[in-house]
């Protein structure tokens, strides 16, 4: 099974799109997307310096455009799973069919401008916390009035909030941890971004999303989302909500992903994956010269295209932590939309697990009394397309 990942802010590098403009139609595509996003993507991806492309209002549409441009030169119909980190979720939603490329680029432009404006309201920032005990790190953030904006896995949590809080954290870091200040405009994925979330929501309300044609993972909790409207709401909510990339990686592992392709500008997510997964092939795509290796990985690990009707699988995932109790169903049973396929036993009581679409119970991915985490796959529901 193959997953395609779209990186987020901080992965950009000066001139990284220059070699892509040699491909037929690439420059014209970027100029069209520039008109939609309100920034000059050709200039930003080729001639702009590091300071200019660090501007949130410019970085976000640039990264979404880069991921989509890269994906246009890959056989994406063979990819099974897609996910994006932070603003990369917009690109992932487009690759899954929830958004059109034009909608994704437009939303990235709005998102970037509004988040930059929110950052200007009061001084805030972000710092990476590397290592340390996770519970101790989270407790330290809470004690200093900071938020865990990104929980990236592989021993990395990004703290965000007031500059005073970040200074306190740096002066007294949690045991066995290291603090690295990040050069960002403000506290992304925290309540400080509420004005940006509200502005993005007003624009997103005019979009008619499609249904996900691939397994699309959400940064909110690592779950697979196949309802277009639900994903659109989550994309808006993510402006102030923490990025749970750790849960996305747990879901990738639970799905049995055997290969990962990271779209340009690649490296950040591949690095996290290498420290998390064992035996998973990882391919980074930064220039057109990397395309053959990516195509080869997709051919070996992806879903081969066919002209015959083929199964479409949806993954039902856990919404909370607890112990799984499946319903009295066996593989091969017909499932209706909204039907309960089991429950998760929590300290507060049972939480029902329902199928979001009709189909056939193809495979149980969790068994009676299994401990499960939020976002963990529980079952596959198959149908015909």
What digits encode the pLDDT tens for the residues 13-32?
999 999 999 999 999 999 99
- Band the pLDDT of 308: cuts 50, 70, 90: very low
- pLDDT(150) > 90: yes
Question: In angstroms, rounded to a whole number, what is the distance separating the alpha carbons of residues 30 and 40?
Answer: 8
* Topology given in CATH for the domain delimited by 2-118+191-301: Malonyl-Coenzyme A Acyl Carrier Protein; domain 2 (3.40.366)
CB atoms within 10 A of CB 284: 22
* pLDDT at residue 320 in the model: 76
Q: Which of 228, 250, 281 is nearest to 377 (CA)?
A: 250
pLDDT digits (tens, 9 = 90+) for 314-327: 778 777 788 999 99
Average pLDDT estimate for 164-171: 96
Catalytic residue from among 86, 127, 177, 218 = 86
Looking at residue 89, what is its pLDDT? Answer: 98
**Per-residue confidence (pLDDT) for residue 234, from 0 to 100:** 94
Q: Count the residues in the chain.
A: 385
- Please give the distance of CA 160 from its chain centroid, rounded to a whole number: 19
pLDDT score of 183: 87
Look at strands 215-216 and 177-182 and give their pairing. unpaired
Q: What angle do CA 108, 110, 114 make, to 5 degrees?
A: 120
pLDDT band for position 374 (cuts 50, 70, 90): low
Q: Which two tokens stand for residue 215?
A: 């397994």
Residue 383 has what pLDDT? 62
Which tokens sit at 131?
């290592």
Least confident window among 39-53, 189-203, 220-234:
220-234
pLDDT tens profile 121-143:
999 999 999 999 999 999 999 99
Distance (Å, rounded) from C-alpha 73 to C-alpha 333? 39
Global pTM?
0.81
Band of pLDDT at residue 312, cut at 50, 70 and 90:
low
- Which residue out of 127, 177, 189, 218 is catalytically annotated? 189
Residues of the chain with CATH 3.40.366.10: 2-118+191-301
pLDDT interval class at 210 (50, 70, 90): very high
Q: Range(s) for CATH 3.30.70.250 in the chain?
A: 121-182
Q: What mean pLDDT do residues 169-191 have?
A: 95
Looking at residue 76, what DSSP letter applies?
Answer: G
Q: What is the mean pLDDT of the chain?
A: 92
The answer to whether 356 is a known catalytic residue is no
Which pair of tokens denotes residue 308? 């015959």
Categorize the per-residue pLDDT at 254 as very low, low, confident or very high, splitting at 50, 70 and 90. confident
User: What is the CATH class of 121-182?
Assistant: alpha beta
Alpha-carbon span 122 to 295, nearest angstrom = 46
CATH tag for 311-384 (out of 3.30.200.20, 2.40.50.100, 3.40.50.360, 3.40.980.10): 2.40.50.100
- State the pLDDT at residue 385: 36
Residue among 313, 361, 359, 312 at smallest CA distance from 341: 361
Phi, psi for 91 (deg, rounded to 5): -65, -45
**Whether residue 127 lies in the annotated active site:** no
**Calpha distance 186→116 (Å, rounded):** 8
Please state the rounded mean pLDDT for residues 145-151: 96
Q: Percent of the chain at pLDDT above 90?
A: 79
Contact by Cβ (8 Å): 186, 127: no
Cα–Cα distances in Å, from 143 out to 140, 169, 173, 174, 303? 5, 9, 12, 11, 48
């Amino acid at each position: 099974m193959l997953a395609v990942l779209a990186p987020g802010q901080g992965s950009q590098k000066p001139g990284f799109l220059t070699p892509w403009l040699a491909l037929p139609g690439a420059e014209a595509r970027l100029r069209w997307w520039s008109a939609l996003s309100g920034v000059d993507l050709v200039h930003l991806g080729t001639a702009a310096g590091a300071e200019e492309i660090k501007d949130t209002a410019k970085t976000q549409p640039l990264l979404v455009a880069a991921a989509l441009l890269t994906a246009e030169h890959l056989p994406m119909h063979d990819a099974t799973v897609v996910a994006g980190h932070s603003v990369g979720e917009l690109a992932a939603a487009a690759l899954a069919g929830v958004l059109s490329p034009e909608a994704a680029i437009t939303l990235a432009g709005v998102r970037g401008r509004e988040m930059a404006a929110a950052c200007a309201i009061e001084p805030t920032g972000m710092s990476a916390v590397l290592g340390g005990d996770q519970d101790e790190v989270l407790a330290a953030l809470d004690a200093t009035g900071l938020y865990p904006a990104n929980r990236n896995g592989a021993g990395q949590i990004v703290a965000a909030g007031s500059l005073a809080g970040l200074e306190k954290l740096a002066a007294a870091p949690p045991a066995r941890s290291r603090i690295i200040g990040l050069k960002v405009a403000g506290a992304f994925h925290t309540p400080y971004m509420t004005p940006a979330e509200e502005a993005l929501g007003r624009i997103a309300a005019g979009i008619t999303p499609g249904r996900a044609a691939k397994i699309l993972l959400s940064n909110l909790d690592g779950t697979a989302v196949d309802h277009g409207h639900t994903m659109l709401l989550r994309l808006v909510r993510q402006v102030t909500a923490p990025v749970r990339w750790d849960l996305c990686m747990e879901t990738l592992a639970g799905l049995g992903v055997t290969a990962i392709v990271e779209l340009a500008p690649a490296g950040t997510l591949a690095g996290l994956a290498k420290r998390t997964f064992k035996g998973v092939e990882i391919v980074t795509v930064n220039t057109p010269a990397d395309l053959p290796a990516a195509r080869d990985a997709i051919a070996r690990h992806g879903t081969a295209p066919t002209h015959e009707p083929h199964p479409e699988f949806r993954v039902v995932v856990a919404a909370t932590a607890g112990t799984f109790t499946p319903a009295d169903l066996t593989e091969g049973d017909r499932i209706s939309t909204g039907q309960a396929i089991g429950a998760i036993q929590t300290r507060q009581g049972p939480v029902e697990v329902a199928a979001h679409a009709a189909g056939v119970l193809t495979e149980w991915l969790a068994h009676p009394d299994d401990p499960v985490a939020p976002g963990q796959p529980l079952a596959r529901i198959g149908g015909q397309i």
